[in-house]
Each structure stands twice: as structure tokens, then as C-alpha cells.
Amino acid sequence: MNISSIVAQNYAASKTATAPEPGTGDNAFANAAQSFMDTMKSSENTAMQAMTSGADPHALVEALAQTELAVQTAVTVRDRVVEAYQEILRMPI
């Protein structure tokens, strides 16, 4: 076996594994918003199941923790955007 061909094959395999997916940079905000909505819907469904059919209380606690983290993240991002906007407004023309 030729070592350089093995190295080339391994490099080609790792290059495709680490390459970014096409179009992911353009939709970063849309993907984040969709992920937030999916988390909220999942947590809401888990909470409804826990209240109506007696689903696992551990799943309810986990869903509530995920919801709290998602909301805190959204609030932090919103605050950063507002701060950036205020900084832009303070810039001299």
C-alpha cells in the first residue's frame, strides 16, 4: 500500500465531513427561530400530556427547563440587538 494514497483518502474524507452545508449562513436567523419554535411546541405538548394523561413528571421538568433556556437565550439575543441598534444611533454622522 502506498501511504500517500491512504493519507489522500483520509484527507478527502475529513474535508467533506467538515465542510459547511451550502446555504446555512444565509438562513442562520431563520434556523434559530425555527429551533426556538420547535422547542416551545415540544414543551407545550409535553406539558399538556402531563396535565391531561399523567405523562412522566421528569419529562415535564425537562421540557420546562428547555423552555426556560430557550426563552432566556431569545431575550439575551434581543437585548444584544437593541444595544447594537442604540450604539448605531449614537454614532456621529
The C-alpha cell that represents 27 in the structure block: 438562513
Residue with cell 406539558: 47
Three-state secondary structure call for residue 53: coil
Nearest one of 5, 69, 7 to 39, comparing CA atoms: 69
**Mean of per-residue pLDDT scores for the chain:** 81
* pLDDT 10s digits, 2-42: 666 676 676 666 665 555 566 555 578 788 888 989 999 98
pTM of the model: 0.61
**Which amino acid, one-letter code, is at 18?**
T
Please calculate the CA angle 56-73-85 and round it to the nearest 5 degrees: 160
